[in-house]
């Protein structure tokens, strides 16, 4: 998407590998991008309530919900349709939220994909984690 202000965090831009100058020239207009995203979410979730899942959801949800409301005034997820995988893991594993980190999760929960910070790669990696968490039955607690 085309940037909407001159304010940005250079370190975050560096992690993404995106070219800000190119996005300024060639990036999609945010309203059109959000309209396209809304349409896609509604198509793939037809007949069901879509839920945005993330690890941590608060990072992506803040950005996504703000953009959806700013550029279109509605969200296919509603105002609270997000699920935080970090919290889901903490609840299922019965560990404090601060201890719910990927480095302490059982290996079978984690994606085998390399974390690239590329949007599609990250989305697939997160989908694999979500699927694994939903299917996971943690070991019973010690007596």
pTM of the model: 0.85
From first CA to last CA, the distance across the chain in angstroms is: 53
What average pLDDT does the segment 110-131 reach? 90
pLDDT above 70 coverage of the chain, percent: 100
> Which among 42, 114, 103 is positioned nearest to 78, based on CA atoms?
42
Distance CA 2, CA 24 (A): 5
6-17 pLDDT per residue, tens: 999 999 888 888
- Tell me the H-state helices in 49-118: 57-70, 85-93
33-90 pLDDT per residue, tens: 999 999 999 999 999 999 999 999 998 899 999 999 999 989 999 999 999 999 999 9
Give the least confident one: 83-87, 114-118, 119-123: 114-118
Going by pLDDT thresholds of 50, 70 and 90, the confidence category of residue 115 is confident
């Amino acid at each position: 998407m085309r940037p909407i202000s001159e304010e940005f965090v250079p370190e975050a831009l560096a992690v993404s590998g995106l070219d800000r100058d190119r996005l300024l020239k060639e990036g999609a207009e945010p309203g059109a991008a959000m309209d396209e995203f809304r349409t896609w979410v509604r198509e793939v979730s037809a007949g069901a309530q879509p839920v945005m899942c993330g690890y941590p959801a608060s990072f992506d949800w803040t950005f996504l919900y703000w953009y959806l409301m700013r550029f279109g005034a509605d969200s296919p997820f509603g105002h609270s349709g997000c699920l935080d995988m970090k919290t889901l893991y903490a609840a299922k594993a019965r560990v404090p939220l601060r201890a719910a980190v990927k480095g302490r999760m059982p290996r079978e929960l984690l994606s085998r994909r390399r974390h690239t910070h590329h949007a599609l790669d990250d989305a697939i990696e997160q989908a694999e984690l979500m699927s694994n968490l939903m299917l996971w039955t943690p070991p019973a607690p010690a007596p």
